[in-house]
Amino acid sequence: MRLSADRSGRPNPDPVWFLLALALAANLAIPFFLVDVPPVLDYPNHLARYVVLAHPDDPILSQMYTPRWAILPNIGLDAAAVVLLKFFDPHVGGRMLLAISLFAPVAGVVVYSRVAFGRFTYWSLASGLVAWNAVFFLGFMNFLLSVGLAFGVAALWIALDRRGSRWLAALLVAIGMAVIFFCHIFGVLLAALLIGSCELSRLFALWKGEKLTAEAVVRTVLPVALLLAPALVLYLASPLSGDATPGTWNGLQKAFVMFAPFGIYSMMLTVLTGAVVFLLLVLVWRQAAFAQGIPLALAALAIVFVAAPSTIKGGTFVEARLALIFVLLMFAGMQPRMTPRAGWLAGLLIVGLVGIRTIYVAAAWVDHRQDIADVRSVIAGVQPGSRVLVARGHPGHETKGISSPERALPGMYRLDGHLGALLLIERRAFWPLMFADPAQQPLAVKPPYDRIAQPLGEPVDWPLLQQDQFSGMDLATARYLADWRNNFDDVLLIDPPAPLQPPRDVAPVAANAYAVLYRNTARH
């Protein structure tokens, strides 16, 4: 790629690259202007928490929840939301934060590539292919922000180290690591992997050239230890350090999750994008240039991906997150070498595929407006301060046969499980599934509401409410079921099944094809 230079002699980006970068940013931003509540699984729940944190003195919500800020590795966007939602409508400010989580990994890839290769590369812009990915649609916003920041912090280390400012780099990166920690622990691990792989690669080169000395080892180990120290101290002081229960290991699932970086609402586009990227990597692998340490980082990630369980320390979809990081590393730390003709063909293919994916997402988000309108229409009569139990007509893992593609990630999970959060955001009503676990979020449920809350739970399956007795497993996942008729004023059913068989003691007060609100006659 050609570079122009300003009067200081420093390289400027190729104008074509700059225009493509602007086009990519505009392309990815379009869907956010089309709907106020995007079909992203965890997003409505996060937004409900942001609303409470930004308005702690609300006369109704303050009776239910109380902010509880602590050393937690999952609160970066929460802190931003406290400020942002004081000036913007919740749905405007919320979409800004969601957009940040979408753009952060791509921006991080571009910055890292620029520093690692000394120029802006077209290949880094190709990371727009995975801007829309399964991890984003699952709503892991703080994770995505931390990934973008990790690439940026690693780039800062490389840039300052090249200038000979190793100790200054260690100091600034240590501060950056602390900031990343408050976003997500995965970001800390990614930054450590990028920096550690780079340094190990440098030491290996010295050893291979018989130039490795004790002084070189010390000059590597001490700064790296310094930059990692703040994040390690914060981790040990956080509740996360005490939770080490891993989830199950599923080798067959890993084969499918490899497509998570390309996952959108269409299975065909997911597989097509993955196939195109894998084919390009196969074609350019032998002639590609890699940034220092990237092959080692990729090898380490591949091993971790194979060995990783599905959940760990409260984090879910671990393999999907690792797969996304792996693909982002390929765009950040690799530079293909192609003939001009091959480069043009690959570029046109990537640009077309990025555009098609965004068009599909935009169309799905437009269709999602009907689901949001249906939910809003049935909850319009819910009174502030009411207690509303939320149920779903189809289990979260059931993704086949859905009438609207935006309701699920094919083969992975349904995406409408947290629409009940609109009860709090728009009606100031209590629902039991708010993300308000003090061990993971800076919010706690106040008594007596805490007895009927399940902060990290999912909506109960509709048939459960027809039972009068519940198993220990049922109560472990939804403890409020034990005496729900005496504790809730209303029941909101999302995506009702057919035939619809309501439990006793409830009467429908509003209904449409997608949502039904029942009044609990046992309390009224």
Query: How many whole angstroms separate alpha carbon 166 and alpha carbon 1?
Result: 30
Domain range list for the chain: 4-33+69-337, 367-520
- In this model, does residue 5 exceed pLDDT 70? no
What does the pLDDT read at residue 401? 73
- In this model, does residue 2 exceed pLDDT 60? no
Q: Residue 442: which residues within 8 A CB-CB, separation 6 or more? A: 53, 67, 68, 69, 70, 72, 75, 78
Q: Calculate the CA dihedral of residues 240, 245, 250, 254 and round it to 10 degrees.
A: 10
- 9-60 pLDDT, tens digit per residue, is 455 568 999 999 999 999 999 999 999 999 999 999 999 999 999 999 999 9
- 458-483 pLDDT, tens digit per residue, is 999 999 999 888 999 889 999 999 99
Query: How many whole angstroms separate alpha carbon 188 and alpha carbon 331?
Result: 19
DSSP 135: H
What does the pLDDT read at residue 216? 87
Query: Range with the lowest mean pLDDT among 30-44, 81-95, 225-239, 393-407?
Result: 393-407
Query: How many whole angstroms separate alpha carbon 357 and alpha carbon 351?
Result: 10
Please state the rounded mean pLDDT for residues 81-107.
97
Q: Residue 522 in contact with residue 485, Cβ under 8 Å?
A: yes
Q: Residue 360 in contact with residue 266, Cβ under 8 Å?
A: yes
What does the pLDDT read at residue 315? 78
Q: Residue 120 in contact with residue 1, Cβ under 8 Å?
A: yes
* CA distances, 14 to each of 125, 242, 336 (Å): 13, 50, 17
Instruction: Write down the pTM of the prediction.
Output: 0.95
Please state the rounded mean pLDDT for residues 290-317.
91
Would you place residue 507 in the very low, low, confident or very high pLDDT band (cuts 50, 70, 90)?
very high
What does the pLDDT read at residue 512? 96
Please state the rounded mean pLDDT for residues 226-236.
95
Query: How many whole angstroms separate alpha carbon 112 and alpha carbon 125?
Result: 12
What does the pLDDT read at residue 153? 98
* CA distances, 80 to each of 48, 100, 200, 508 (Å): 14, 11, 36, 40
Would you place residue 3 in the very low, low, confident or very high pLDDT band (cuts 50, 70, 90)?
very low
- In this model, does residue 314 exceed pLDDT 80? no
What does the pLDDT read at residue 352? 96
Query: How many whole angstroms separate alpha carbon 444 and alpha carbon 391?
Result: 22
Q: Which of these, 104, 84, 105, lies nearest to 93 by C-alpha position?
A: 84
- In this model, does residue 282 exceed pLDDT 60? yes
Average pLDDT in the chain: 92
What crossing angle do the helices spanning 185-208 and 166-183 adopt, rounded to 10°?
150
Percent of the chain with pLDDT over 70: 97
- 370-385 pLDDT, tens digit per residue, is 999 999 999 999 999 9
What does the pLDDT read at residue 312? 81
Q: Residue 195 in contact with residue 180, Cβ under 8 Å?
A: no
Q: Residue 49 in contact with residue 441, Cβ under 8 Å?
A: yes
